C-alpha cells in the first residue's frame, strides 16, 4: 500500500509535523504536497475513509474542481484525491470549453484527467452533455447559419447619357461634348448621377461609369449611402483631356438604404463629364436553412459531440448529468407544469429536437458512443440536474418531464439536486432553512431515482441577515456551521434509501470569501488548515 506523504508543517504552536506512518494509508496514490495535518484535527483520517460502507455502500463524496488547476497536481489535487472519491469539473468538461467556433474538439486536458484519475483509482462525475449554458454556442450558431448558394450576376440598369435630352437632378446638366450628349457635373457639386432603383441588403453591386475632364479633376463616389474608397485617400482623380476613363467599383448599399443611387461629388475646380453608367449586382449568395436541414445538422452535431467525448472517455466516466437545469418559470398552457426553457436568441437543443424528444436523443447518442468506445452500458448512469426542487411545483414539473422522456426512450437514472444552503443565526429563518431541506429530501425520495446533492456549500448569515465572511467568522460560529453540515448529511443518509444514495458534492473544498470549506487558508502561511467542518463530515459519514 502507498501512503500519503506529509509535508513538514511548522507554523506556531498550533501546527504539528507527523511522519508518514502517523498519517493514513491510501491505496494506489501518494499525495504530494500533503493537504495539511493541523491541530485539533490532525488525528483524523481522510474524509472519504469515514463513509460507513456497511450502511451506505453507494455513497460518493464529491469535490468540484477546475480542470487545469487539478491537472497541475498541486495542493488542490492532493486534497481532492486524498479526501474525496468523486470529482466534478463543472463547465470544464462541457462542449463550450472543448469545441471551438469552427467545430474543432480539443480533448487534451480531459484525456489527461481521465487517464490520471483511472490510474490512481478515483472516479469522475460527468458534466452535462446538454444544457442551456456552457454549450458550444458559436459552433451551433455556425452550423445553423444561412448556407451559401450559387447565384448569377444580375444586370440592373444602364444609363447612356448620349441618349438623354435633359437631366432632372441637381448638381449636373446635359451638355454637348465631342458631338454627343454627356452629363456635366460642375466643380464643387454633389450630383446623384443615377437614382431611384431598389437595392437589396447584403447584395454586392458592381458599378462602372465613364468619365472625362478638361483639366485634372478629383471627385468622391458614394454608392447608396456607402462612401467608396478610392486610390487617392478615398478619392478618385483623372488627368485632363485624353480618352474616357472607366471607373469600376464594387460595394453594398449602406444599412437601411432601400432606394439606390450613384452620387459623385466633385472637388473645387474639377468639372467632370459622365458618358455612361452601368449597374448590376450579385445577389446575397446565402439562404436560410430549412427546418429539416437544421434538424439534420443539429442531430449530427449532438452525435458528433457525444462520439468525440466518449471516444476520449473510453468508458471511464460512468455517471453524467444528461441535461442541466431544463425548467423555465413559465407553465404549459392550461397546466401547472413548468415548461422547458426556450430561446429565440440562442440555439437550444430542445427547440430543435422538440421538448419531448430532447432527452431521448441525447441519451441515445451518449449510450451509443459509450458502448462504441469500450464502455459497458449497464454501468452508465444519467442524471437530470435541477435546482430549487424543494418547491413542489418545480419538483412535480421535473418529474413530469422525466416521465415524458423516459416513455420516449430516454435512460434517466437519477436526479442531481443543486442546493443553495445557508445557516442563519435568526431562529425563524433557520427553521425555514431546515424545513426547506426536509421538503427537498421528501420530494426526492418519492421520485424513486438515484439522488445526488451538488453545490453542497453552506454560507453563514448573522441574525440581521448579513453574510459572515471566512476571515471574520468566530470559532463558535464555525462550530455552528459545522454542526449544520453534519445535520444535513445525516438527514440525507437517513431519508434517502441506501440504494438510492448517489452522493454529496461540495462546490468548494476550501474557504472562498465565505467559510464554506473543509479547509481554511492560513492568512500568513497560506497553508490549508482543517476546519470544524472537516470533522463534521467525518463524524456524519461514519454515522456518529
Q: Kindly give, in sequence order, each residue whose CB lies less than 8 Å from that of residue 490, ignoring residues fewer than 6 positions away.
A: 540
Burial code of 198-237, b = ≥16 C-beta within 10 A, e = fewer? Answer: ebeeebbbbbebbbbbeeebbbbbbbbbbebebeeeebbb
Phi, psi for 421 (deg, rounded to 5): -110, 140
pLDDT exceeds cutoff 90 at 400:
yes
**Per-residue pLDDT for 214 more than 70?**
yes
Residue boundaries of the structural domains of the chain: 47-145+290-542, 154-286
- Assess whether pLDDT exceeds 80 at residue 15: no
Cis peptide before 40 (omega within 30 of 0): yes
Element (H, E) at 29: none
The answer to whether 518 and 478 are in contact (CB under 8 A) is: no
**In whole angstroms, what is the distance from residue 226 CA to residue 220 CA?**
11
Among residues 380, 348, 342, the alpha carbon closest in space to that of 364 is found at: 380
* pLDDT (0 to 100) of residue 27: 54
DSSP per-residue codes, 449-507: SEEEEES--EEEE-TTSPBPPTTT--HHHHHHHHHHHHHHHHHHHHHS-GGGEEEEEES
Q: CB of 502 within 8 A of CB of 383?
A: yes
pLDDT greater than 90 at residue 191:
yes
Out of 3.30.465.10, 3.30.70.580, 3.20.20.80, 3.90.870.10, which CATH number does the structure's domain 47-145+290-542 have?
3.20.20.80
Give the pLDDT confidence score for residue 421 in this predicted structure. 98
DSSP assignment of 48-87: GGGS-TTT-TT--EEEE--HHHHHTTSHHHHHHHHH-SEE
Average pLDDT on 425-437 reads 98
Residues in CB range of 176: below 8 A, 6 or more apart: 182
Q: Using one digit for the tens of pLDDT, what is the confidence trace for 265-280?
A: 999 999 999 999 999 9
Instruction: Taking residues 32-39, report their average pLDDT.
Output: 59
pLDDT, mean over the chain: 91
Confidence (pLDDT) at 43: 86
Residue 522: predicted pLDDT: 86
Q: Which pLDDT band holds residue 74 (cuts at 50, 70, 90)?
A: confident
Q: What is the pLDDT of residue 386?
A: 98
Predicted local confidence at residue 330, as pLDDT: 97
The domain 154-286 belongs to what CATH superfamily?
A: Galactose-binding domain-like (2.60.120.260)
pLDDT score at 34: 58
Cα–chain center distance at 237? 52
Mean pLDDT score, 398-426: 98
Angle at 543 between CA 538 and CA 544, to 5 degrees: 75
What would the mean pLDDT of 419-438 be, rounded to a whole number?
A: 98
Model confidence at 73, in pLDDT bands (50, 70, 90)? confident
pLDDT digits 0-9 by tens, 460-514: 999 999 999 999 999 999 999 999 999 999 999 999 999 999 999 999 999 999 9
**What would the pLDDT profile of 116-144 be if each residue is shown by its tens digit?**
898 888 899 999 999 999 999 999 999 99
Amino acid at each position: 500500500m502507498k501512503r500519503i506523504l506529509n509535508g513538514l508543517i511548522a507554523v506556531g504552536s498550533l501546527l504539528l509535523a507527523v511522519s508518514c506512518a502517523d498519517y493514513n494509508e491510501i491505496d494506489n496514490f501518494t499525495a504530494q504536497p500533503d493537504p495539511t495535518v493541523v491541530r485539533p484535527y490532525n488525528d483524523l483520517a481522510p474524509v472519504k475513509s469515514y463513509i460507513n460502507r456497511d450502511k451506505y455502500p453507494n455513497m460518493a463524496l464529491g469535490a468540484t474542481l477546475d480542470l487545469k488547476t487539478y491537472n497541475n497536481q498541486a495542493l488542490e489535487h492532493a486534497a481532492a484525491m486524498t479526501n474525496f472519491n468523486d470529482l466534478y469539473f463543472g463547465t470544464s468538461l462541457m462542449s463550450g470549453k472543448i469545441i471551438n467556433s469552427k467545430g474543432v474538439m480539443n480533448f487534451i486536458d480531459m484525456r489527461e484527467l481521465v487517464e490520471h484519475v483511472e490510474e490512481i483509482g478515483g472516479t469522475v462525475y460527468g458534466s452535462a452533455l446538454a444544457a442551456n449554458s456552457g454549450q458550444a454556442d458559436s459552433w451551433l450558431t455556425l452550423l445553423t447559419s444561412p448556407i451559401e448558394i450559387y447565384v448569377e450576376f444580375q444586370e440592373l440598369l444602364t444609363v447612356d447619357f448620349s441618349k438623354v435630352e435633359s437631366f432632372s437632378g441637381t448638381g449636373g446638366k446635359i451638355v454637348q461634348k465631342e458631338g454627343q450628349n454627356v452629363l456635366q457635373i460642375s466643380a464643387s457639386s454633389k450630383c446623384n448621377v443615377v437614382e431611384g432603383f431598389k437595392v437589396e441588403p447584403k447584395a454586392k453591386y458592381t458599378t462602372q461609369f465613364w468619365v472625362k475632364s478638361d483639366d485634372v479633376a478629383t471627385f468622391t463616389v458614394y454608392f447608396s449611402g456607402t462612401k467608396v474608397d478610392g486610390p487617392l485617400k478615398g478619392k478618385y482623380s483623372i488627368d485632363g483631356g485624353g480618352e474616357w476613363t472607366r471607373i469600376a467599383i464594387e460595394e453594398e448599399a449602406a444599412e437601411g438604404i432601400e432606394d439606390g443611387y450613384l452620387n459623385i461629388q466633385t472637388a473645387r475646380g474639377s468639372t467632370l463629364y459622365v458618358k455612361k453608367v452601368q449597374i448590376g449586382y450579385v445577389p446575397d449568395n446565402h439562404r436560410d436553412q430549412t427546418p429539416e436541414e437544421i434538424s439534420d445538422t443539429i442531430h449530427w452535431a449532438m452525435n458528433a459531440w457525444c462520439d468525440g467525448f466518449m471516444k476520449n472517455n473510453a468508458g471511464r466516466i460512468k455517471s453524467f448529468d444528461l441535461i442541466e437545469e431544463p425548467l423555465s418559470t413559465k407553465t404549459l398552457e392550461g397546466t401547472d407544469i413548468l415548461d422547458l426553457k426556450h430561446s429565440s436568441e440562442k440555439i437550444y437543443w430542445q427547440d430543435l429536437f422538440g421538448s419531448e424528444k430532447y432527452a431521448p436523443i441525447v441519451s441515445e447518442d451518449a449510450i451509443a458512443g459509450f458502448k462504441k468506445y469500450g464502455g459497458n452500458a449497464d454501468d452508465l448512469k444519467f442524471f437530470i440536474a435541477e435546482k430549487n426542487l424543494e418547491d413542489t411545483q418545480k419538483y412535480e414539473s421535473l418529474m413530469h418531464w422525466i416521465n415524458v422522456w423516459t416513455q420516449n426512450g430516454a435512460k434517466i437514472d437519477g436526479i442531481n439536486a443543486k442546493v443553495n444552503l445557508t445557516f442563519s443565526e435568526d431562529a425563524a429563518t433557520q427553521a425555514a432553512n431546515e424545513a426547506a431541506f426536509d421538503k427537498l429530501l421528501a420530494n426526492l425520495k418519492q421520485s424513486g431515482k438515484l439522488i445526488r446533492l451538488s453545490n453542497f456549500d453552506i454560507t453563514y448569515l448573522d441574525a440581521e441577515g448579513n453574510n459572515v465572511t471566512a476571515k471574520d467568522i468566530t470559532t463558535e460560529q464555525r462550530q455552528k456551521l459545522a454542526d449544520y453540515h453534519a445535520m444535513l448529511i445525516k438527514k440525507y443518509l437517513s431519508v434517502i434509501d441506501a440504494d438510492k444514495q448517489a452522493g454529496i458534492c461540495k462546490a468548494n473544498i476550501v474557504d472562498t470569501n465565505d467559510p464554506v470549506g473543509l479547509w481554511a487558508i492560513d492568512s500568513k502561511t497560506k497553508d490549508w488548515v482543517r476546519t470544524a467542518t472537516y470533522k463534521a463530515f467525518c463524524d456524519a459519514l461514519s454515522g456518529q
